[in-house]
Structure 1
Amino acid sequence: MAQEHTVKAFDEDITRLRGLIAEMGGLAEVALNEAIEALIKGNEQLANGVIARDKKIDALEAEIDRLAVRIIALRAPMADDLREVIAALKIAGVLERIGDYGKNIAKSAMRVENRRKFEPLTLIPAMAEIAGEMVHDVMTAFAARDPVLAREVVHADEKVDAFYDSIFRNLVSHMMENPASITSAAELLFVARNVERIGDHATNVAEMVYFAATGTYLTDRDDRQEG
């Protein structure tokens, strides 16, 4: 009877942990989407909302940390279960960083002047859409323990990097031709860099999900051999 109670309590803790990770990932995804919308429209209210909600993401990370430590200390999980708890602990830290990047973009959104003059403003939303899909897909992969979807997220990062390279070249050329716009162009470059980092972090989460699901690491060499 005591064994059944322990197993039930452990399952409840794991379910709670997964739920917190899912909530945190959802907030991080929304932060990116709304920060980009604020950038495009120059919507200060939307940007301020993103900045304010970052505290919720931080609070969720702290709650996940406490729960994961408690599970390890009290439930002594092994094998697959231990990998999942450790992965959740690491993923929470990465999602907190993604939330920070969304906050950074929201802050930059209000510093861009004459936004209609910048061609990269047509490229950054497309880049951010891919990065947002990566965050969404990697959270789906975590919930389903799906290593195949996790691998697809890793591949998608190449598209984000290609966008960043294109935007970087475009903005440098724009700054050289329009010295008066250097400040705003630099803010857009900062935005693009933050989106690129979100893609990198989604890739990191995908690698953790892959490990939690399979017990093996998804290295570049292994990925090429399997893909």
Structure 2
Amino acid sequence: MSASRSADQIHATLSSQIVAGHLRPGDALAETALAARFGLSRTPVREALQRLAAEGLVERGPRRAFAVRRMTTDGLRHLFEALAELEALCAGMAALRMTPADHAMLAGILDSDDLPGADYAQLNIRFHQSLRQGAGNDVLAGMLEDLNRRSLPWRNAQFEARQGRIASSRAEHRAILTAITARDDTAAAAQMRAHMGASLGVILEMIAARD
């Protein structure tokens, strides 16, 4: 396995354990111990930890050692408030700029959600990425890149945290697509804000139950 793929594996495992609460705030993440745990060298471990630090899930403590960072509910709320407004802006611009071919592509992503064995978290990422591209604004897309990276572990976790969240998320995506195909930028933005708000609600419930 390449170092990059190994780092992806470590990153996915650790981010899932942090969000689920199996790794608690303040828990040490020593490179040597993690390398032994995964049976890998320290290079992919270091890469994975640096990615987690960029996402705000871990931080460097004394002697530059990594540890799980405490994410407060206020911190998550502020993150999702900013994300919701930028995502809503993208959705509104996409409603005015996307072509019929783009609409068909979005519909295809949503249709894939219903296939047996579909990876909904990945399809959710594709849907939001397509809207950002459809907005046709590179500056806005760049602003969203950091917020998306920091929120993605929490957004993915919601689909495991609450039974039925996938179904409600699908319905919210359909409502966004309906507004976009109608070229109703106001409705598209409002639907996106509601969608992001619903995600935050599930995540806060998940944290409350975990803690």
TM range (shorter): under 0.3
* TM-score of the pair, normalised by structure 1: 0.25
- Greater helix fraction, Structure 1 or Structure 2: 1
Larger Rg: 1
* TM-score of the pair, normalised by structure 2: 0.26
